[in-house]
Every structure is written in C-alpha cells, then in structure tokens.
C-alpha cells in the first residue's frame, strides 16, 4: 500500500510522541496511511486518513485561536506595524473560519485549509453552550495575555533580542537539532535573549499537566543546541492564560534534567524505529488496549476497533430511506 512513496525521515515532536504512546494504530493512520492523501488521485482510504489527520476539536481549536492571536500580536510589535484587527478578533476569525468550514464540509476538498471539527464530524451539531464555552476560553486567554505585565514587558524589549515567535514548522529551517540522526521539532512559542540568559515561554490555555515540564525542557534542548546557550543560562516558563488572568510556572533547567529529556527522546525514537519495521501493513500496527484511548481518537471512522459512522453519513442514510432531511 504505497510503499514506493517517499516520506520524510523519522523525526520526533511532542505531538508525534503523544500519538505513538497512545496507540500504535493511530500512529499508523496519521504518519503512514495519510501520506499522499492530499492527492485527488490517491486511494479513497488514504484520502480519508489524510482528512482525519487534519481534524481538530473545540478544546484544541480554542488553543489554536489563542496562540495565533498572540503570535500575530507579537509579530506586529516585532515588525512595528499595527494589527489589522484586535487580538480578540483574530482569535474569533480563526474559530469562525474553522467552524464555518466544518459546517460547510470544506474538508471534502481542502481538509488542510478547512479541517474537520470533531464535534460536528462525529457528534452532529454541538450545543450553543458548548461552542460558547470554548470561545470564552480562547477570548479570555487572549485578553489575559494582552493585559498582562508580561506582555507590557515584552513590548518594551528590543525585538532584535527575540529568538522565536511561534513560527510553524519549516523543513528548510536550519534551526533544528538532531538526536541519533533524527530531527527534533520543539520550537518554543516565544523566546528571547535577556542579558546573558535565554528566556523561553510557552502559552497554555488548558490546565497544568505533568508533561509540561518535559515539553519546556525539550525547548531548553533546542536553545542549547540551536542558539548556543549554556544550560545554566536557560530559563523556561509555562504561562497559563484564562479568566483567572496569568499564572506562570517556572521549571528549573539543569544538566541532569536536560540529559533525562534527551534520553527519553532517544528511547522513544528507538521504539519508533522498531515499530516502523511494520511499514504500511496496517494489521501489524497494534490497536490500543485501553478503550478510553479510542473515545476521542480522530480516526474512529476507519479504525476497526470503533468503526464510527460520522454524522454526515448518518444524515445521508436517513434521507435516503425516509426522505426526511435532518
């Protein structure tokens, strides 16, 4: 099944790690079966896997909208130009575009530009209360950031000292380091040089998680490898945003901590290499043993462990046999 396709080499990222550890079959769908699914001539199952690989959900979308609003706000400061719309309106525009595309099924032709929304795709029509809840998360996060002393301090700094502003992954970007010959993607949301220190910030719209420390320490690996900072001069901060305002959690960077994260990444890459020996044979990729991992998996439509029927297909079946639009 498409074994002659040329895929990028194995790499590590936090999101790839999360999928790999959650379910090997999900990993196969996302990183193997979906490959070339953007091609209209690709087999239907591959195109479907690509569509599902672009899916998002309201919780993720709230974070995406807030991050994009903060990114554009910081870029306007860096470039010395005003935003064409307010930061809150940027977040609103992101959510509206994705929501309208999901409702209009833009993902049938352009799933990358118009990703499916899980709540519409599988569950039908989410309640207004649910939609409002996640809009408030995005809105309050953006408002908390723009009103914070941290943002005021960043605005007063010299943009020439900024090292990263949440740029999307770029395979041509030389600022990527390797572990055991594999690229490691862990570019910070925002980083800047302050005196002889490197300050790394990660914007959070959700509750604190145990994995936050590892994520920030992976960013510190990036600062050490790509920007040449000594371990002792790297500071990492998770910045939680919401109706409560701004909560900052600092994670101390030590040589032992970075060695542990590097060893962790190296171990995961070793396991990924072993798993990759299964190639494109779907049945060789194990299904999750924990049913809870299936409940919010975006690939429920094609996975035999679930075989979920998406809402648009259920509607079409009802219309076909009852003649009643839903």
Query: Is 273 inside a domain boundary?
Result: no
What is the structure's pLDDT at 99?
A: 95
pLDDT, one tens digit per residue, over 37-78 is 999 999 999 999 999 999 999 999 999 999 999 999 999 999
pTM for this model (two decimals): 0.90
Phi-psi region of 279 (alpha: psi -120 to 50; beta: other; left: phi over 0): left
170: CATH? 3.40.1350
Q: Which of 89, 138, 96 is nearest to 241 (CA)?
A: 138
Query: Is 125 inside a domain boundary?
Result: yes
What is the structure's pLDDT at 15?
A: 93
Residues 163 and 126 in one domain: no
Number of H helices, E strands in the chain: 11, 8
Tracing tokens 């960013």 back to the chain, one arrives at 219
Query: Is 260 inside a domain boundary?
Result: no
Distance (Å, rounded) from C-alpha 73 to C-alpha 61? 18
Tracing tokens 């605005």 back to the chain, one arrives at 155
Residues 141 and 16 in one domain: yes
SS (H, E, C) 127-180: CHHHHHHHHHHHHHHHHHHHCCHHHHHHHHCCHHHEEEECCCCCCCCCCCEEEC
Query: Is 225 inside a domain boundary?
Result: yes
Distance (Å, rounded) from C-alpha 182 to C-alpha 109? 33
Residues 85 and 23 in one domain: yes
pLDDT, one tens digit per residue, over 151-180 is 999 999 999 999 999 876 666 666 789 999
What is the structure's pLDDT at 220?
A: 98
State the total domains in the chain.
Answer: 2
Tokens found for residue 130: 């649910």
Tracing tokens 């196969």 back to the chain, one arrives at 28
One digit per residue, pLDDT tens: the chain, 326 residues?
444 445 678 999 999 999 999 999 999 999 999 999 999 999 999 999 999 999 999 999 999 999 999 999 999 999 999 888 999 999 999 999 999 999 999 999 999 999 999 999 998 889 999 999 999 999 999 999 999 999 999 999 999 999 999 876 666 666 789 999 999 998 899 999 999 999 999 999 988 998 999 999 999 999 999 999 999 999 999 999 999 999 999 999 999 999 999 999 999 999 999 999 888 899 999 999 888 889 889 999 999 999 999 998 886 544 544 444 43
Q: Which of 33, 65, 72, 39 is nearest to 52 (CA)?
A: 33
Helical (H) or strand (E) element with 58: helix 58-79
Residues 46 and 128 in one domain: yes
Query: Is 57 inside a domain boundary?
Result: yes
Residues 136 and 33 in one domain: yes
Domain finish residue from 253, 268, 290: 253
Query: Is 281 inside a domain boundary?
Result: no
Residues 140 and 15 in one domain: yes
Residues 100 and 157 in one domain: no
Residues 139 and 156 in one domain: no
Distance of CA 220 to the CA centre of its chain: 19
238: phi then psi, degrees, rounded to nearest 5: -90, 125
Distance (Å, rounded) from C-alpha 116 to C-alpha 100? 10
Residues 92 and 136 in one domain: yes
Residues 134 and 34 in one domain: yes
What is the structure's pLDDT at 125?
A: 85
Torsion of CA 222, 224, 227, 233, to 10 degrees: 120
Query: Is 275 inside a domain boundary?
Result: no
Q: Tell me how many degrees the CA angle 112-117-120 measures, rounded to the nearest 5.
A: 140
Domain finish residue from 232, 253, 274: 253
Range of the structural domain that residue 201 is part of: 149-253
Residues 112 and 60 in one domain: yes
Q: Tell me how many degrees the CA angle 64-69-70 measures, rounded to the nearest 5.
A: 100
Residues 109 and 178 in one domain: no
Query: Is 82 inside a domain boundary?
Result: yes
**Percent composition of the chain: helix, strand, coil (DSSP 3-state, to 5):** 50, 15, 35
What is the structure's pLDDT at 278?
A: 85
Residue 221 burial (10 A CB sphere; 0-12, 13-18, 19+): buried
């Amino acid at each position: 099944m498409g074994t002659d396709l040329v895929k990028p080499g194995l790499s590590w990222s936090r999101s790839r790690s999360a999928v790999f550890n959650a379910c090997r079959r999900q990993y196969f769908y996302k990183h193997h079966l979906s490959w070339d699914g953007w091609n209209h001539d690709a087999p239907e199952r591959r195109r479907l896997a690509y569509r599902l690989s672009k899916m998002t959900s309201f919780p993720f979308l709230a974070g995406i909208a807030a991050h994009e609003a903060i990114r554009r706000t910081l870029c306007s400061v860096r470039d010395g130009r005003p935003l064409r719309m307010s930061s809150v309106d940027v977040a609103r525009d992101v959510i509206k575009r994705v929501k309208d595309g999901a409702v209009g099924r833009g993902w049938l032709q352009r799933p990358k530009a118009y990703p499916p929304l899980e709540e519409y795709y599988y569950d039908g029509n989410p309640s207004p209360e649910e939609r409002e809840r996640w809009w408030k998360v995005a809105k309050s996060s953006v408002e908390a950031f723009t009103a914070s002393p941290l943002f005021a301090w960043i605005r007063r700094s010299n943009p020439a000292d900024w090292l990263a502003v949440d740029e999307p992954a770029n395979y041509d970007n030389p600022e990527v380091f390797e572990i055991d010959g594999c690229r490691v993607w862990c570019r910070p949301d925002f980083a800047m040089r302050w005196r002889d220190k490197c300050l790394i910030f990660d914007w959070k719209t959700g509750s604190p998680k145990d994995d936050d420390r590892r994520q920030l320490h992976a960013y510190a690996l990036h600062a050490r490898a790509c920007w040449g900072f000594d371990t002792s001069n790297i500071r990492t901060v998770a910045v939680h945003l919401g109706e409560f305002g701004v909560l900052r959690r600092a994670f101390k960077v030590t040589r032992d901590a970075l060695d542990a994260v590097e060893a962790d990444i190296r171990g995961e890459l070793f396991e990924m290499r072993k798993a990759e020996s299964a190639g494109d044979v779907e049945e060789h990729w194990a299904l999750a043993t924990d049913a809870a991992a299936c409940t919010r998996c975006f690939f429920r439509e094609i996975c035999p462990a679930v075989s979920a029927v998406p809402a648009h297909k259920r509607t079409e079946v009802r219309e076909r046999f009852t003649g009643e639009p839903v």
